[in-house]
Amino acid sequence: MSSLPLSSSDNPISLPSAAGLSVPAFSPLYQQIKALILHSLQAGEWKPGEAIPSEMELAARFRVSQGTVRKAIDDLAAENLVVRRQGKGTFVATHAEQQVQYRFLRLLPDSGDASVEGPAQRHIIDCKRVRASADVARILGLRAGDAVMQARRVLSFSGVPTILEDIWLPGTSFKGLTATQMTSYPGPTYAMFELHFGVRMVRAAEKIRAVLPDPEQADLLQVSPETPLLSVERLAYTYNDVPMELRRGLYRTDTHHYRNDLS
């Protein structure tokens, strides 16, 4: 990515359209630098877990002050897109990092926390390439009939089936995904998506409601059909708000609870 002739002042400027970025006109300079760094992240210039250039190098590259770069990186760090390491630099955040791998996991044990409980035991029921239904295509920004990877799995804790998930992923971005990959990868699934498919989920939106399971769902979770479950529909996005995963889960809450910290 070539350097852009940006002013080193804090006067708002507009980015060239050739950069392919969507940045409001007259936005603060640090936000424009943030958008340029985000563009490089999206383009894969720096992979998850890799160091990005120093503030001094980025300041020279974009012809702005280090303070402007620092403010842009502060924003990216607050959004868990990069991670600062004292004395080592700034790195592209990855779901393999201990401090972020549970960021999207809101179901916690009633005693202890997710890190103490340890990773879930995964049982992949199915993983196949199918044509997207109109509903799934609309949510993922695809056309009806486009290829998607569809997976169903049960997550257990201490041998107890706790979460039943149905997952849909764009077929083009996740071509070749197999049940073996989903089962055997030792870390978080989102970390596997980064490593094998170059897709990083950076944020997610969820819809939550209470439901009763159908007979098949009740059987997979080993509960009665009269057991209330938490239904969680999650849409996860990669950079620039591109939807990359639709996940519909049913959660048992007899030994776990859903927690969300608000600020």
The amino acid present at 227, given as its one-letter code, is T
Under DSSP, is residue 218 helix (H, G, I), strand (E, B) or coil?
A: helix
Euclidean distance between CA atoms 59 and 67, whole angstroms: 9
Q: Is residue 55 part of a domain?
A: yes
* Residues 229-255: tens digit of each pLDDT: 999 999 999 988 899 999 999 999 998
At which of 92, 125, 158 does a domain end? Answer: 92
pLDDT of residue 56: 92
Residue with the larger pLDDT of the pair 86 and 220: 220
Euclidean distance between CA atoms 14 and 18, whole angstroms: 12
Residue 135 sits in the same domain as residue 179: yes
Q: Which domain holds residue 40?
A: 17-92
* Residues 60-73: tens digit of each pLDDT: 999 999 999 999 99
Residue with tokens 């879930």: 120
At which of 92, 122, 144 does a domain end? Answer: 92
At which of 92, 122, 156 does a domain end? Answer: 92
Model pTM score: 0.75
Residue 136 sits in the same domain as residue 213: yes
Q: Please give the tally of structural domains in the chain.
A: 2
Q: What are phi and psi of 81, to 5 degrees?
A: -90, -30
- In this predicted structure, the answer to whether residue 78 has a pLDDT above a threshold of 50 is yes
Angle between helix 55-62 and helix 29-43 axes, rounded to 10 deg: 100
- The β-bridge partners of 256 are 109
Residue 30 sits in the same domain as residue 132: no
For residue 251, what is the domain's CATH number? 3.40.1410.10
Residue 149 sits in the same domain as residue 38: no
Residue 51 sits in the same domain as residue 87: yes
Q: What is the mean pLDDT of the chain?
A: 85
Residue with tokens 């005693």: 111
Q: Is residue 23 part of a domain?
A: yes
Residue 80 sits in the same domain as residue 204: no
Residue with tokens 């990092």: 97
pLDDT category at 7 given cuts 50, 70, 90 is very low
In order of 41, 118, 194, 252, the CA distances from 92 in angstroms are: 8, 24, 11, 34
